[in-house]
Amino acid sequence: MSWMAWTLPTALFFAGIAVLLAGMTLVELRWPCVERKGFLPITTTRGDRLFIGLLGGAYLHLLVIGVTDWSVWIASLLSLLWLCAVMRWG
């Protein structure tokens, strides 16, 4: 995979996503999910909320980096908080 020019932070990010997906699969097998409605305008399953949280977190991250001069770590923290909020109350 040397042709992709991986950096350590990029590899760790994608490894984290892979671990998150594997963990969600195991949780789903152990405790099947039922659809529920939170603050999102649709009924969602656990996997739906994960996808929406990751996608929203990516857009939030890009927005913070593009509009402010804050550190990338602040953008990452805000994205993580968004993901946690969607998973818990979405």
The pTM for the full model equals: 0.81
Cα separation of 73 and 71, whole Å? 5
Closest Cα to residue 25, out of 55, 52, 45? Answer: 45
pLDDT digits (tens, 9 = 90+) for 43-65: 999 989 999 999 999 999 999 99
pLDDT score at 22? 94
Structure tokens at 74: 């602040």
- Of the pLDDT bands very low, low, confident and very high (cuts 50, 70, 90), residue 33 is confident
User: Residue 90: what pLDDT?
Assistant: 85
